[in-house]
Amino acid sequence: MSRQQWPLWEVFVRARRGLSHTHVGSLHAPDAELALRNARDLYTRRQEGVSIWVVPATAITASSPDEKDAFFDPAADKVYRHPTFYEVPEGVAHL
Amino acid sequence: MNPTYALALRHGDDALIAAQRLGEWVARAPELEEDVALANIALDQLGAARLLLSYAGELEGAGRDEDALAYLRDDREFRNCLLVELPNGDFAVTIAKLFFLAAYQRRFYERLCSSTDARLAAIGAKARKESAYHLDHAALWVLRLGDGTAESHRRMQAAVDEIWPYTHELFAADELTRQAEEQGLAVASHTFRPEWLAEVDAVLAEATLRRPDDNWAPGGGRDGLHTEHLSYLLAEMQVLHRAHPGARW
Amino acid sequence: MLPSCNTCPVYGNDFGIETPDDGGLLRQVEAAEEELRHAAGRGLGAPLADTDLQEYFDRVVGADQKIEPRDWMPEAYRRTLIRQIAQHAHSEIIGMQPEGNWISRAPSLKRKAILLAKVQDEAGHGLYLYAAAETLGISRDELVDLLLAGKQKYSSIFNYPTLTWADVGAIGWLVDGAAIVNQVPLCRCSYGPYARAMIRVCKEESFHQRQGYEILHTLSHGTEAQKAMAQDAINRWWYPSLAMFGPPDTDSTHSAKSMAWKIKRFSNDELRQRFVDMCVGQAEILGLTLPDPGLRFNEERQSYDFTQPDYDELMRVIAGEGPCNRQRIDHRRAAHAEGAWVREAAAAYAAKQHQRLEVAA
């Protein structure tokens, strides 16, 4: 029979500078310090230079995927915001 | 005896026996996340043990590698401190052992980085970061167990009382610590006991734990005179290897 | 350059033997990962105001897109996934026992380190999978309770004992091998969190299989006693490994719906055949004999004919009559019970800290 549950935390990891944090999974821990240590063990295998965020799952407010268009910036319409829209002329590097 | 060899053996044995005991927690830790954490720490200790024992074997020059040293010596030839060979007990006892040991190892490895022996210095550089992590982990648990529930406090206090006498051996001065200090190989541990004690006291106090008086100070491990526990530990650790002399695995 | 401590992988293929052909499994995992990224890029668009949710669900699954945690899904889909993911997670955790059995007696320090790392990985896999299951609206505590009460199962293979060191090798080669054959297709499963967890798991698991294979190769090329140890282990683990793929397709109850929902991508028999075909060549390199006199290459099918495992035995083991069922569950119950005071202490400390912060504020 289970007793007091260790709350759920969501884990976000930024593997390298320049990238942003991405969600990698979740874990259970009694507090933030242990959550961070556990996340380091579990999701990064203690690689150095990695930034970890742990967030109590209850602190996250989520939208639903079937929220209607008005809730979102309909970025699919504004296709000119996405880099693949533009054709890069031949010979242009690093763009 | 070559002091570099003796030093590598002593600290390699500390790490090896510590790893062996920690490995016993696999699949029985209080929570899955702790299974991962303790296995990680066991792996670190084992890694350091392998580096130190391999080096010791080379220095000895008698053709013994890390496995020959680990699997074919009897308990009278092991040079680990008594603390690491004590049984795991409950989680509180394991944490007490780890906390006192890691606080010692971290300081030892840190100072080892300045060793006149380049190989020992390199090992120190690698092991001290891992040690810092072990200490951090153990300290977090000392706090949670000491200042958690009435039961956890009772168990953690009992653990501190039980393990405390075995910490004195870590800082005993002997011929080897004197020679090592003289040759710049390693700092004698009694010189950093005050720093160790300050950190230990701070954590214990925050965890609402008392520390016992310093009277009984069991020792002998550094000379191969161990508790009755070590030969049982070695029997299990060595049995398969010894059953197939000369075999490769 | 110092040999590795723990911050670099301890794995290494340092015997110079031919690496067993894993049938390109790692490449398949990478392909699944690529596809996941591409699919995300294509995007199906949100359902319109009056879209039928079941129809939308079917469309997403049909287009090989992913169902994510807050999507509407049929209740049966949710239940099936919870059952399957939980069973998978429980298997990883229970699996730590037969393997962990040889950590203290590992015959070399290198093997001890590799085995410790492997068992640690398994705990990690269990955690990833419990996390995936929790996205479906159940808590890990509930799942653990179901396991300990015997109401949820784990892979029956772990109800066999590891009697020798060679068993560790056999588990790596055969059991992990079978698990990988099962798991790689799951990297394309329709439920996002499960697919992502499987990609992560599969990448780590390929090392495990290789290590098991190396253990056996060293044994089979070692002393007579070692070779006999290895052959004995294969003799005991071969048929139970075949049984891991479940009953024959004709007898399988859960399959049809799971296939339609793209939770299950291939049938039990298809996967079992794939596994056998992989193992035959690998066994030859090992110089060990698979304990099946009926094993022969069928030119027509371009596949091996083989003797089926005893499915009655499989059913008995699943029902609780394997050699180690009671031991495995008792061990888990004891560990959980003994750890209760620790978990409570941590929760109590967290509550105290929280109160102290509030008072201070």
Tokens of B9: 């053996």
Q: Which chains touch C (3 or more CB pairs under 8 A)?
A: A, B
Closest CA to B138 of B93, B81, B191, B86: B93
Other C-beta atoms lying within 10 Å of the C-beta of residue C296 = 11
Residue ranges and CATH numbers for the domains of chain B are: 3-211+220-243 (1.20.1260.10)
Q: Is A6 left (phi over 0), alpha (psi -120 to 50) or beta?
A: beta
Rg of chain A (C-alpha set)? 19
Contact C131 A27 (CB under 8 A): yes
Q: Which residues of chain A have a CB within 8 Å of the CB of C127?
A: 25, 27, 42
Q: Are B92 and B25 in contact (CB under 8 A)?
A: no
Residues in chain C: 361
B165 has pLDDT over 90? yes
- Considering only CB atoms, B24 lies closest to which of C104, C120, C352, namely C104
Q: What is the pLDDT of residues A10-42, one digit of tens each?
A: 999 988 777 889 888 889 999 999 999 999 888
What is residue C44's predicted lDDT score, i.e. its pLDDT?
67
What is residue A45's predicted lDDT score, i.e. its pLDDT?
74
Q: What is the pLDDT of residues C139-149, one digit of tens each?
A: 999 999 999 99
Closest CA to C171 of C91, C113, C247: C91
- Considering only CB atoms, A33 lies closest to which of B31, B33, B140, namely B140
Q: Are B211 and B204 in contact (CB under 8 A)?
A: yes
Handedness of CA B77, B101, B157, B149 (dihedral sign): negative
Contacts of A7 (CB under 8 A, 6+ apart): A28, A29, A30, A56, A57, A58
- Considering only CB atoms, B37 lies closest to which of A28, A30, A41, namely A41
- Considering only CB atoms, B36 lies closest to which of A6, A28, A41, namely A41
Q: What pTM, to 2 d.p., does this model score?
A: 0.90
DSSP code, position B25: T
For residue B33, the distance in angstroms to the closest alpha carbon of chain A comes to 6
Q: What is the pLDDT of residues B55-93, one digit of tens each?
A: 999 999 999 999 999 999 999 999 999 999 999 999 999
What is residue A17's predicted lDDT score, i.e. its pLDDT?
78
User: By the CB < 8 Å criterion, does B137 face chain A?
Assistant: yes
The stretches of A4-88 forming alpha helices (DSSP H) are 32-43
C:317-346 residues touching chain B, CB 8 A cutoff: 331, 334-335, 338-346
Q: Nearest residue on chain C to B32, judged by CA atoms? A: C123
What is residue A18's predicted lDDT score, i.e. its pLDDT?
78
For residue B184, the distance in angstroms to the closest alpha carbon of chain A comes to 31
In the block, tokens 């029956």 appear at C156
For residue C22, the distance in angstroms to the closest alpha carbon of chain A comes to 25
- Mutation for testing the B interface, residue in C139, C342, C355 having most B CBs under 10 Å: C342
User: By the CB < 8 Å criterion, does B51 face chain C?
Assistant: yes
Residue ranges and CATH numbers for the domains of chain A are: 8-81 (3.10.20.520)
Contacts of C304 (CB under 8 A, 6+ apart): C273, C276, C277, C280, C295, C296, C297, C298
Q: Which residues of chain B have a CB within 8 Å of the CB of C165?
A: 240, 249
- Mutation for testing the C interface, residue in B13, B16, B24, B26 having most C CBs under 10 Å: B26
Q: Are C92 and C155 in contact (CB under 8 A)?
A: no
**Alpha-carbon gap, residue B52 to C3, rounded angstroms:** 11
Q: Which residues of chain C have a CB within 8 Å of the CB of A34?
A: 346
Q: What is the pLDDT of residues C296-351, one digit of tens each?
A: 999 999 999 999 999 999 999 999 999 999 999 999 999 999 999 999 999 999 99
Give the bridge partners for A51, in sequence order: A14
Q: Nearest residue on chain A to B134, judged by CA atoms? A: A37
If pLDDT is split at 50, 70 and 90, which confidence band does A80 have? very low
